[in-house]
């Protein structure tokens, strides 16, 4: 008798481009681990990203957290048994989002840190939105695992613009790839041993074949960790 699998509740849409990658990886990993025609039981709530992005830009984090809390509660009511938030940046409000939600929650930074440590790395570069790179919530989570984190010493608004104006719209440009490659090169020169693709869209632009450092794609690692959590007894 094959192992049973809990239903994954996924809060997506930030952006839908990366959420589509989540859906594919969740099902591919489930099929790999369970075999046959098995796929992942998933309840996906894909939000409208425009209002969330406006709240981010305005610093209205509490309001955004309450909006995601309503989504998380709805997923729990719909039968989700494991919860994932398919965006790095919005983990800044995970405490608000989880208020009154009694579900196991897989934080996106945890499987990322575990993979880095398992590979023997302790000093890592972090790429992401300017919020993820400049605010403390993500770096502190990595520090709690024993990792030292470096962020690019470049104009973060430039990297941010590529994410929001290109990758979130499915636009992948070689010129933008070179911008991220240059940021990785600078972090490598400062001692970074590997780089976290700490925005769920960056894997569309950068991977091991185009990076001077080993890359750790949070989308891939998080989706696989959600499958593990859903299969855990």
Place of tokens 């990886």: 25
118: CB partners within 8 A, 6+ apart: none
Catalytic residue among 30, 112, 168, 199: 199
Catalytic residue among 30, 87, 89, 129: 87
State which H helix or E strand residue 8 sits in: strand 8-12
Cβ–Cβ under 8 Å, residues 142 and 113: yes
- Whether 87 is a known active-site residue: answer yes
Residue 7 burial (CB count, 10 A)? 15
125: CB partners within 8 A, 6+ apart: 149, 150, 151, 152, 183, 184, 187, 188, 192, 194, 195, 196, 213
Cβ–Cβ under 8 Å, residues 88 and 129: yes
Distance in Å from the first CA to the final CA of the chain: 14
- Whether 168 is a known active-site residue: answer no
38 three-state secondary structure? coil
Angle at 106 between CA 102 and CA 110, to 5 degrees: 140
**What CA–CA distance (Å, rounded) separates 68 from 49?**
11
Instruction: Tell me which residues are annotated as active site.
Output: 87, 199
């Amino acid at each position: 008798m094959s192992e049973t699998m809990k239903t994954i509740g996924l809060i997506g849409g930030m952006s839908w481009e990366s959420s589509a990658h989540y859906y594919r990886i969740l099902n591919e990993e489930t099929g790999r681990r369970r075999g046959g025609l098995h796929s992942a039981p998933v309840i996906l709530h894909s939000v409208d990203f425009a209002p969330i992005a406006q709240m981010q830009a305005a610093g209205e984090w509490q309001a955004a957290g309450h909006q995601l809390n309503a989504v998380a509660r709805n997923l729990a009511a719909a039968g989700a048994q494991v919860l994932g938030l398919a965006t790095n940046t919005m983990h800044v409000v995970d405490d608000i989002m989880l208020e009154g939600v009694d579900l196991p929650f897989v934080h996106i930074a945890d499987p990322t840190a575990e993979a880095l440590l398992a590979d023997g790395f302790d000093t890592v570069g972090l790429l992401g939105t300017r919020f993820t790179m400049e605010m403390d919530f993500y770096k502190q989570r990595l520090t709690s695992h024993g990792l030292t984190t470096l962020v690019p010493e470049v104009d973060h608004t430039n990297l941010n613009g590529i994410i929001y104006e290109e990758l979130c719209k499915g636009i992948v440009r070689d010129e933008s790839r070179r911008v991220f490659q240059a940021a990785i090169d600078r972090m490598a020169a400062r001692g970074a041993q590997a780089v976290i693709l700490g925005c769920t869209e960056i894997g569309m632009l950068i991977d091991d074949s185009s990076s001077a450092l080993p890359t750790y794609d949070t989308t891939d690692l998080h989706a696989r960790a959600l499958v593990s959590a859903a299969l855990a007894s």
